[in-house]
Amino acid sequence: MRVLVVGAGATGGYFGARLAEAGRDVTFLVRPARAAKLADAGLTVESPIGNLHIPAPQTVTAADLAAGKGGAFDLVLFSCKAYDLDSAIADVAPAVGPDTAILPVLNGMRHLDALDLVYGADRVLGGSCAIVATLGPAGEIRQMNPLHTLTYGERSGGRSARVEAIESLMQGVTFQPRLSESVVLEMWEKWSFLATLAGSTCLMRATIGDILAAPGGLAVIEALMEECRAIAEAAGYAPRPGVMENTRKTLTAEGSAFTASMLRDIEGGARIEADHIIGDLIARAPDATAHPVLDRVYTHLKAYENRRAREAAAAKPQ
């Protein structure tokens, strides 16, 4: 099975590297500068599980695919940020054949609508991942803790020949693969958790522990948790009691240094997924479902985006 990984950043680069480590046929779709860097220095993973270096990873650029290089792939793994999705979809198009399966592991649900529109819902699987990783200054991938799970499944539930084939592909890899028969529910559960975590830590610009130590902090987190849960339930994907119990335990742990990657992006002046993670969740809420804290979070995030855009425009040479 030939696998195309869209990007070689922290997430796609990690899972793609581990697949290549296991001897799978993996190609990374990257920009020309990243392709040159990988050709020169290889792909390096620094991990508590065990370091890895691939001296010459297979890469293609969008221009290569457009010129017919590589042909159609059996599996395309989308791991890009939501704000890069539209360009990634266009870049990947020449690599998608009639039997190609598409596995996106973005957060939220909005990306499924975009992928379905272009490729058809029958080609697009459900998926998610759990990993804490970042790119180092030399382009190396730094895995911050041992968590590294990749979940995939048919959105309609059950099993199929193609997910069984993907399951076979995943055997023997270093990370933890999971074939789920309720993958859409799990995606909603993760979205609810992430929106609560990102919403609270970004709104307060603080860790979970710092929020809880502030007057009214627990109430803010609990209100966000309930708003996200109610929207998921209204969509037909009420988070399971055990999942909600774990969510509450994680997000109300006193002294916790836990923050969302979105907060780290804000603190670094980077782009964020405000519309994909928070805005789309609000948009899916029925009129009868109140979400005042989510509204404040969204206003806060959009104000950051507006300021960032204004400052970038002002910095451009006249």
Please give the positions annotated as active site: 190
Phi, psi of 133 (to 5 degrees): -150, 160
151: helix, coil or strand?
Answer: strand
| Nearest by Cα to 17 from 54, 49, 68, 56 | 54
| Nearest by Cα to 12 from 41, 43, 48 | 43
Helix ranges restricted to H, the chain: 10-21, 32-41, 62-66, 85-92, 110-119, 161-170, 183-204, 208-212, 217-234, 241-251, 261-267, 274, 280-283, 292-315
Q: DSSP letter string over 102-137?
A: EEE--SSSHHHHHHHHHH-GGGBPEEEEEEEEEE-T
